[in-house]
Chain A
Amino acid sequence: MKTVVQCEVNGEPREALVDPRDTLLQLLRDRLGLTGTKEGCSNGNCGSCTVLMAGAPVCACLVLAGEAEGAHITTIEGVADGNDLHPVQAALIQHGGTQCGFCTPGIVLSAVALLAETPQPTSGQIRHAIAGNICRCTGYDKIVTAIAAAAAEMQAGARQ
């Protein structure tokens, strides 16, 4: 039996009718049209569907849609303020940290979650933070560089 789920996505109240078998990923992509969250494995192994729930990164494919009731969710569509990019996004562009782009939304959210908790991460911490996000194009190098640059940028911004 389908039920209505109410939640807050990217700061906006949303509601949708979901099947008990539906995942949060299906809710976001198919019901709410937020297709920036990608499906790569449906198993929690690739991280393409990473979104934040109460600030914590989760794989949307492992969360039941019903569990989103009352939750605060951030998807890739909610990271930039309009076309005002988050420093992580700007740095990924600048440093060549996105190629095919399919893993990028998930990487962005993992990085945003990291920097919220650890503003000055080491490269080891950055690699750990994105270890649940598989990228097959970049070899990770430029992603790590970009996240480090974003952290520096945010630190500089915070000092001003």
Chain B
Amino acid sequence: MSDQAVIPLRVVGQRLPRVDAGERVTGRAIYPADLVRPGTLVGSIKRSPHGHAVIKSVDTTKALALKGVKAVVTGADFPEIVPGTIIPFGETGADLWVSALIVMARGKVLWVGQPVAAVAAVDEHVAAEALSLIEITYDVLPAVASIEAAMAKGACVLHPQHTTKGFEPGAAIPPNIGSRTLLERGDAELALTQSAATASIAVKVYTGHQGYIEPHACVAEADPQGNVTLWASSQGAHQTEIQTAGILGLPQSKLKVVPLELGGGFGGKITVHLEPVAARLAQISGRPVKMVMSRAEILAGGSGPPAAAQVSVEVGAEADGRLKAIAGRYVFDTGGIPGTPTTLLMQASAACYQTETLRLEGMDVVTSKPRTEAYRGPGGIQAAFAVEQAMDELAIKLGMDAVAFRQRNAAVTGSLMPAGTPFPSIGLTTILERVAAHASWRDPLPPGKHPRGRGLALGYWRGTSMTSAAQLTVAGDGRVMVTMGTVDISGTRTTMAQVAAEEMGLSIDDVHVATGDTKSSAYSDAAAGSRVGRTMAAAVVDACRDALGQLKGRAAERLQAPEVDVTYDRGVFRAGGNGGTAASITLGELMRQTLTDGAIIGRGVSTKLPFGVEVGAHVVDVEVDPETGQVTVLRYTAFQDVGRALNPTAVEGQMQGSVVQGLGWALTEAIDYDADGKVRNASLLDFRLPTALDVPPIDCVIIETPVPGVPYGLRGVGEMPIVPVAGAVANAVRRAIGVRVTNMPMTPERVLAALKNKAGNPA
């Protein structure tokens, strides 16, 4: 398959518009909140006002008695699910217990906003009144709503039954640790003492949010024979089905999940939130139930934000710039349920560098906050905010140019990754050459009203693989339909139409790509982990080749030639090679003649594909108002190796969107929890997503170093470009004003505080 790259491509690699853009720009695309089913009820959730409390009693009598209320549910309406109930998901599986607690509290509430009960009523006014009539008594327990509070000596333990893994026997374990992981190679401590120069930094990152503009929503309907249909906007219809069926105790044959359009997910719509509740309300009421979260619910406990973190890093190098050691401690806030993994993010933060020794220690800490969920390269931006600043500071101490320092230490194909395995093909050195030669790095920074600086940071993410499935059928006119088991979060319908058109030798207009529901498509993992473009492309290629094999057999019959002599090129089967005189039949004609001989179904499944390692470098220019601390981003250039851009417009869209999300968290976005875990800024006025005026144009430089063993040499695309953003901005700020800002977001107030701190303690 790696030979694909040398054949000139017709459709793959083109800047084609999204095939589904027309319905988007006209408002016709249907998201769950838009769906109208006859007799639909409004479902609404009663949420915990406490950060940590025992639920003593829940009395729903008055709510049930209210006219217009059709169903009320509490934790008692769902089967008990114990920790460690593993369901299929990706390479490791997922614990259904986590999803179950996110959906509905049992026995205890673990964060403000955790669901405790729900109602279905004839309209939102009645539903709101019904919620107010549900009487809940709590035994309030101490909340620990930050990493510090949770790890403090004597802190209230949120999961007393949980055993912390990963510590050496006899080690003093702080309270509320989920687990600990260690990546170690050589003696980093010793190497640091032997280094000619070292740099260290300790950063604190506050809870951010994915900030998808479409609030969580779904519609559920149950028929009299027990079949449940769920219209969802999720990152994976099959994941939604497995989790929902498991939480309801429903056989999967009785549940169909129909993926409607997804108004942004970014990791936050993999775990189910409303879906099992809507389904249960629909089963009880016998009516369709629509649930839509409000923005305040989303920001205050209804959804899983990305993790807050505390990361400290020390790095050391020889005088010539060669890295000797990276030592880091990564403490991540998992929210109310343990189990946020830290291995991948630790790796990611150090992966771009070759180092003699390495010691990375990671922990997840349980706090009285919503269970964290994935967000675009989960943990990457937080970790890189520390590591990239430390690297930059080390370059400054060594008197080296920031790019040259990275070039000195850049990971190359075959060098060791932090986990100790050799790197598969990566093009980091190519990227750095491009950066060094690019105007965004070489142009002098024009002077401004206030101090300006230019920053650089690197990023890595491991595009994961998991499994994807596609089936391809051929219509009576030779046109092709592909049904995918994944949803479309990044233009997948379009890029897969390009792949199918390429493989089938057709034009993109001859191909239709659908995102299947769970009863018409085969199991595919979620659209997450920078995997869908690559792995679905592999599945589609498989499906095309399978179908073409079947078609060749039919063509051979029609052309009365041995199958081995039949060739296919751009819609035409020929007997005896491509010579002009040989007999031929077009795909369309073949199908017209043979459709009724039986359907052609091409099967495509990809699994265990090589990882699509993503690397990149970001260069940013900022201006800092030294009196207010405000950081203005003047110019931004993102370099990324994508293996091959299936559709450069789509790739740039991923890069630009990632960068702006990263800028948001880097500079203004944070959920503000008080000591009891209550959110003080649950609106998009005070949770500040960047507007068009807050960001500059984002220039993209796409580099293509193909990955062997993957169709077209594709890499992951969508996650890496958020990883370096905060580090790049911090490095630019440092170069502008001479101080490091160690708290993220780097709000104006924090930047000013850092400046004053410097003034107060001159180095």
Direct contact of A and B (CB under 8 A): yes
A: which residues have CB within 8 A of B?
Answer: 19, 21, 29, 33-43, 45-46, 48, 75-77, 79-80, 85, 88-90, 92-96, 98-105, 108, 123, 126-128, 130-144
> CB distance B698 to A100 under 8 Å?
no
A105 touches which one: B27, B489, B660 (CB < 8 A)? B27
Answer yes or no: B652 CB below 8 A from chain A CBs: yes
> CB distance A36 to B27 under 8 Å?
yes
Distance in angstroms between the alpha carbons of A35 and B25 in the assembled complex = 13
> CB distance B691 to A101 under 8 Å?
no
Answer yes or no: B717 CB below 8 A from chain A CBs: no
> CB distance B17 to A94 under 8 Å?
yes
> CB distance A102 to B691 under 8 Å?
no
> CB distance B490 to A99 under 8 Å?
yes
**Which residue in chain A gives the minimum CB-CB distance to B490?**
A99
Known: A38-B214, A40-B295, A127-B692. 10 other contacts (CB 8 A): A41-B684, A42-B294, A43-B295, A90-B25, A96-B652, A98-B25, A100-B212, A102-B264, A105-B27, A128-B693
* Band of interface residues on B: 35 or more
Answer yes or no: B21 CB below 8 A from chain A CBs: yes
Which B20-45 residues have C-beta < 8 A from chain A?
20-31, 33-34, 36
19 residue pairs of the A-B complex, CB under 8 angstroms, read A39-B215, A45-B684, A75-B27, A77-B27, A85-B26, A93-B18, A98-B24, A98-B25, A100-B214, A102-B31, A102-B263, A104-B27, A105-B27, A128-B693, A131-B692, A131-B693, A136-B264, A138-B660, A140-B660
> CB distance B262 to A100 under 8 Å?
yes
The answer to whether A45 and B213 touch (CB under 8 A), given A35-B34, A127-B693, is: no
> CB distance B21 to A45 under 8 Å?
no
B: which residues have CB within 8 A of A?
Answer: 15, 17-18, 20-31, 33-34, 36, 125, 210-215, 261-264, 266, 292, 294-295, 489-491, 649-650, 652-653, 655-661, 683-685, 689, 691-693, 695, 697-698
B21 touches which one: A93, A103, A123, A134 (CB < 8 A)? A93
Distance in angstroms between the alpha carbons of A96 and B23 in the assembled complex = 14
> CB distance B24 to A104 under 8 Å?
yes
**Which residue in chain A gives the minimum CB-CB distance to B697?**
A141
Q: Quote the shortest CB–CB distance from A160 to chain B (angstroms).
A: 24
The answer to whether A139 and B691 touch (CB under 8 A), given A43-B685, A101-B261, is: no
If over half of A's interface residues share one DSSP class (helix, strand or loop), that class is named, otherwise mixed; here it is loop
Q: Quote the shortest CB–CB distance from B393 to chain A (angstroms).
A: 28
> CB distance A96 to B692 under 8 Å?
no
> CB distance B263 to A89 under 8 Å?
no
Q: Quote the shortest CB–CB distance from B648 to chain A (angstroms).
A: 9
Number of A-B contacts (CB under 8 A): 173
**A residues near B691, Cβ cutoff 8 Å:** 130-132, 134
Q: Quote the shortest CB–CB distance from A133 to chain B (angstroms).
A: 8
> CB distance B263 to A134 under 8 Å?
no
A139 touches which one: B264, B295, B657 (CB < 8 A)? B657
Q: Quote the shortest CB–CB distance from B373 to chain A (angstroms).
A: 16
If over half of B's interface residues share one DSSP class (helix, strand or loop), that class is named, otherwise mixed; here it is loop
> CB distance B25 to A89 under 8 Å?
yes
Q: Quote the shortest CB–CB distance from B606 to chain A (angstroms).
A: 24
Q: Name the 3 nearest CB pairs between A and B, nearest first.
A: A36-B27, A101-B24, A102-B263
**A residues near B653, Cβ cutoff 8 Å:** 96, 99, 137-139, 142
Distance in angstroms between the alpha carbons of A92 and B656 in the assembled complex = 16
Q: Quote the shortest CB–CB distance from A115 to chain B (angstroms).
A: 15
The answer to whether A36 and B28 touch (CB under 8 A), given A139-B656, A139-B659, A142-B656, is: yes
The answer to whether A102 and B213 touch (CB under 8 A), given A41-B295, A134-B684, is: yes
The answer to whether A136 and B27 touch (CB under 8 A), given A43-B683, A93-B21, A99-B653, is: no
> Of B30, B653, B657, B692, which is in contact with the most chain A CB atoms at under 10 Å from its CB?
B692
The answer to whether A76 and B27 touch (CB under 8 A), given A93-B22, A96-B18, A100-B489, is: yes
> CB distance B25 to A92 under 8 Å?
yes
The answer to whether A96 and B689 touch (CB under 8 A), given A35-B34, A103-B213, is: no
**A residues near B695, Cβ cutoff 8 Å:** 139-140
**B residues near A105, Cβ cutoff 8 Å:** 25, 27
Q: Quote the shortest CB–CB distance from B375 to chain A (angstroms).
A: 11
**B residues near A46, Cβ cutoff 8 Å:** 213, 295, 684
**B residues near A34, Cβ cutoff 8 Å:** 27
The answer to whether A141 and B656 touch (CB under 8 A), given A40-B214, A136-B661, is: yes
Distance in angstroms between the alpha carbons of A93 and B17 in the assembled complex = 6
> CB distance B27 to A98 under 8 Å?
no
A99 touches which one: B491, B655, B689, B698 (CB < 8 A)? B491
**A residues near B24, Cβ cutoff 8 Å:** 98, 101, 104
> CB distance B263 to A101 under 8 Å?
yes
The answer to whether A76 and B295 touch (CB under 8 A), given A94-B17, A102-B264, A131-B693, is: no
Q: Quote the shortest CB–CB distance from B214 to chain A (angstroms).
A: 4
The answer to whether A21 and B125 touch (CB under 8 A), given A79-B26, A89-B25, A136-B266, is: yes
Distance in angstroms between the alpha carbons of A157 and B15 in the assembled complex = 25
Distance in angstroms between the alpha carbons of A144 and B693 in the assembled complex = 11
**Which residue in chain A gives the minimum CB-CB distance to B689?**
A134
Q: Quote the shortest CB–CB distance from B355 to chain A (angstroms).
A: 33
**A residues near B684, Cβ cutoff 8 Å:** 40-41, 43, 45-46, 134
**Which residue in chain B gives the minimum CB-CB distance to A44?**
B685
**B residues near A77, Cβ cutoff 8 Å:** 26-27
**B residues near A144, Cβ cutoff 8 Å:** 692, 697
**B residues near A130, Cβ cutoff 8 Å:** 691-692
Distance in angstroms between the alpha carbons of A13 and B210 in the assembled complex = 40
Distance in angstroms between the alpha carbons of A145 and B180 in the assembled complex = 47
Distance in angstroms between the alpha carbons of A77 and B25 in the assembled complex = 10
Distance in angstroms between the alpha carbons of A35 and B649 in the assembled complex = 28
> CB distance A108 to B25 under 8 Å?
yes
**B residues near A142, Cβ cutoff 8 Å:** 649, 652-653, 656
**A residues near B15, Cβ cutoff 8 Å:** 96
**Which residue in chain A gives the minimum CB-CB distance to B262?**
A100
Distance in angstroms between the alpha carbons of A110 and B683 in the assembled complex = 22
Distance in angstroms between the alpha carbons of A127 and B294 in the assembled complex = 27
The answer to whether A40 and B215 touch (CB under 8 A), given A93-B18, A100-B264, A139-B698, is: yes
**Which residue in chain A gives the minimum CB-CB distance to B19?**
A93
Q: Quote the shortest CB–CB distance from B125 to chain A (angstroms).
A: 7
